[in-house]
Structure 1
Amino acid sequence: MEKEETLLRKRLIELSNNAYQRGIIMYSDFLNLNELNILHTTPKDSFPVPYRTFGGYDPSERQMAAFLPDAFYMYMDEKSIRSTYPIRILKISPLQPKFAEELSHRDYLGALLNLGITRAKTGDILIHDKEAYVFVHQELTEFLVKELTRVRHTTVRAVEVENADFKWEPKYEEIKGTVASVRLDSLLSLAFSSSRSKLTALIEAGRVYVNGKLITSNGYHVKDNDIISVRQMGRFQYEGVLSETKKGRYYVTIRKYI
């Protein structure tokens, strides 16, 4: 893993150098949570130009990094910068909804990978009823529209959706409960209905991220509106303290994405 981290940092720094030398925006591939953490923990003075990250919608997990020369960074607002990313959205729908299977995230991802697509060229996969929205690098759009015709046993059609037309309201479960403190391990226990000892092991194993940054401290103090992601388990947003009990515990609310 250390070798992979070193290679990734080298590639990211090279992209930043190219942006500085050529005076154009340079983009990474889609980065997963661990790769985003490597980016965010690389000393800022390693990059000759600043960067921003975006995955096609808020709040995406897999994101591209854009390295911005001064001419872009100083004169473009966030919305304008986001419009430059080479990200396209594909909607995958069954040709015969009545006979379509219940397809999972793994099914859609498997169909993409079976076409020879590398994971780094695809972002998040969002599932709504019997349709899915997939964020991909723009260079793959035409190929996938033509070649993605089946997911498991279901015949599908892929069409591009204009970014401006895309609206996504994530489904979530609101959970309220009391915790001894607004520590990361306490909130994880509330969100996933599991023991703190088990969740502490996940934190120590490097599977927990707050706003895309790896957190390995059980006592990390979570702030209002922070998004906590646990690899292979899910994610939730901590909304804040509603009240304090007479025994000094905190009554909090979180939104767990489903």
Structure 2
Amino acid sequence: MSIYQHFRPEEKDFIDQVLNWKQSVENTYAPKLTDFLDPREQEIVKQIVGSHHEVKLELFGGIPSAERKRALLFPNYFQWEEGDFQLTLFEVEYAKKFITLEHPQVLGTLMSLGLKRAKFGDIILSDDRIQFFVAKEIESYISSQIESIGKASVTLITQNLDQAIQLNESWLEVSVTASSLRLDTVVSAIYNISRQKSQTLIQHGQVKVNWTLIENPAFEVRESDIISVRGYGRVKMLALEGKTKKEKWKITAGRQK
């Protein structure tokens, strides 16, 4: 039985990468730190490495509620610490009385630097405070490059991780059934809208899965996916719990309040 059959075809390259990480730890008997992974990638790593006796796994993104986390794969003798995840926390100082900055502006500025998205962790906005996590290896580059976000002049302040804003996200757990795991079917079931409406939203570029725009209604949803529908909010696919007697999928999801 091939390991690939449990995953999406487009995830093959990432699966191969995870297998290489695991093999590297086994061969060198030394830890391996990854870039930031989205929740779906984290789930894949957990499924491949999860219960392995020789290679252990920890995930950390700076705060308990972080969505994007770095993975640390290590041999069973290794005692990990938070510092092993090599994270830097920046806080953005700007003229808060006169300017409002939003998440897309911060992300757009970071992505304009020509670095991979995988080098950046969560961006946290709380009232007028803005923080974001980056891989420590790009800390000095970020510090030297960012002087403005949008039209605002900014200063980046390095903070200790214990100064990170702690988010208390509120998710409402919902249980639904769907005739298939097609994206249009799942969106229809979770958001309680018609199948036609969900197809229209998808085809008009209103739906993202794991931060990637998906315009194919037949795209298959998997466990740990995060679905974002413009105007309707986000959901986490918490569990696919098999099928009912009528051959419908039982889905448990967390819907952001």
Q: Give the TM bin, normalised by the shorter chain.
A: 0.5 to 0.7
In the alignment, what sits opposite 2:137? 139
Partner Cα separation in structure 1 for residue 53 and residue 113 of structure 2: 35
In the alignment, what sits opposite 1:71? 77
Instruction: Report matched runs for 1:1-258 at 5 Å.
Output: 4-42=10-48, 49-72=55-78, 76=79, 80-94=80-94, 96-100=95-99, 102-170=100-168, 172=170, 182-183=175-176, 194-195=192-193, 197=195, 205-206=219-220, 209=223, 213-214=224-225, 229-232=226-229, 233-235=233-235, 256=256
AA partner of residue 114 (structure 2): G
The Cα shift of 1:140 comes to 1.2
The SS at the match of 1:42 is helix
Judge conservation of contact 2:49–2:56 (CA < 8 Å) in 1: no
TM-score if structure 2 supplies the norm length?
0.66
Among the aligned pairs, what percent are the same residue?
A: 19
Q: Give CA-to-partner distance per residue, 1:81-119, whole Å, 9 cap, x none.
A: 43421111111121x22221x222111110001112210
- How many residues are matched? 210
Partner Cα separation in structure 2 for residue 107 and residue 41 of structure 1: 34
In the alignment, what sits opposite 2:181? none
Q: Which moved more, 1:57-66 or 1:199-208?
A: 199-208
The SS at the match of 1:143 is helix
Alignment CA distance shift 1:47-1:34 (3 Å) = farther
Judge conservation of contact 2:22–2:49 (CA < 8 Å) in 1: no
TM-score if structure 1 supplies the norm length?
0.66
The Cα shift of 1:35 comes to 2.1
Q: Which moved more, 1:144-153 or 1:80-89?
A: 80-89
The SS at the match of 1:71 is coil
Unmatched segments (≥5 aa) in structure 1:
215-228, 239-253
The SS at the match of 2:167 is coil
AA partner of residue 135 (structure 2): H
Q: CA RMSD in A?
A: 3.7
Q: Give CA-to-partner distance per residue, 1:18-54, whole Å, 9 cap, x none.
A: 2222232211111123322332343758895122222
AA partner of residue 87 (structure 1): L
The Cα shift of 1:163 comes to 1.0
AA partner of residue 126 (structure 2): H
